[in-house]
């Protein structure tokens, strides 16, 4: 009986692991993510809500970091070596509206690159909880003006 349960657990992990592999493939692997991040950055710079955050930074660097981070999240063969989300966004004054604006830009970029809707939502499901580290708490005592954002992350 114990052996049967172990076997079933192993089978379940294999299924979910291959499901994640399928999701990574649905994104076009790492090259697909590179393309999606290129498109997303264009949207972020067009959107007046996110332009102030992304215009002054080294966009190529940010894109490369994002590709590594999403690749790792999607169980691709990558390692994200950048800052944790809290440090990366500290004192930036990111509000919920900015977080949502980025999600919209990401959705547009994924749509343009023909990522299936289900795969899109699997990625968003992993990104959503990051709001705790990224979005400034509404009772923050002070906000850093946008002009004082660090020039590189």
Partner 1 sequence: MSFSAGTRSAFYVLALTATLPMTASTALASGARSDKLVLTGGVNAIEGAGGGGLATWALIGGLGTEDQYGGNAFYTNIAMDDFRLTSSGVLLGIRDRVELSLARQRLDTQDAGSALGIGRGFKISQDIFGIKVRLLGDAVLEQDSWLPQVSAGLQHKRNDQAALLQALGARDDSGTDFYLAASKLYLSSGVLLNATVRLTKANQLGLLGFGGDRNDSYRPQIELSAALLLRRDLALGAEYRSKPDNLSFADEGDWASAFIAWQPNKNIAVTIAYTALGDIATFSKQRGAYISLQLGF
Per CB under 8 A, 101 contacts partner 1: yes
Residue with tokens 């590594």: 68
Describe the chain by its helix, strand, coil percentages, rounded to 5. 70, 0, 30
Taking residues 19 to 58 in sequence order and writing x for each that binds partner 1 by CB under 8 A, - otherwise, the string is ------------------------------x---------
Buried b (16+ CB within 10 A) or exposed e, 67-86: bbbbbebbebebeeeeeebe
Among 6, 10, 124, 140, binds partner 1 (CB under 8 A): 124
Q: Does 100 bind partner 1 (CB under 8 A)?
A: yes
Of 4 and 125, CB closest to partner 1: 125
Q: Is 106 exposed, middle or buried (0-12, 13-18, 19+ CB in 10 A)?
A: buried
The piece of 69-77, 79-87, 92-100, 142-150 that touches partner 1 (CB under 8 A) is 92-100
Of 82, 70, 79, 81, the C-alpha closest to 115 is 70
Given the rule CB under 8 A, which residues bind partner 1?
Answer: 49, 95-97, 100-101, 103-104, 107, 117-118, 121-122, 124-126, 128-129, 131, 138
């Amino acid at each position: 009986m114990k052996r049967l349960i172990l076997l079933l657990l192993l089978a379940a992990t294999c299924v979910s692991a291959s499901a994640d592999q399928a999701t990574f493939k649905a994104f076009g692997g790492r090259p697909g993510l590179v393309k999606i991040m290129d498109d997303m950055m264009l949207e972020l710079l067009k959107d007046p809500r996110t332009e102030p955050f992304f215009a002054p930074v080294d966009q190529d660097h940010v894109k490369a970091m994002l590709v590594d981070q999403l690749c790792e999240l999607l169980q691709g063969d990558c390692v994200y070596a950048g800052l944790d989300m809290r440090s990366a966004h500290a004192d930036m004054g990111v509000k919920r509206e900015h977080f949502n604006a980025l999600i919209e830009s990401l959705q547009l970029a994924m749509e343009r690159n023909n990522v299936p809707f289900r795969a899109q939502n699997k990625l968003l499901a992993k990104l959503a909880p990051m709001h705790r580290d990224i979005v400034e708490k509404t009772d923050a005592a002070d906000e850093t003006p946008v002009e004082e954002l660090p020039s590189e992350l």
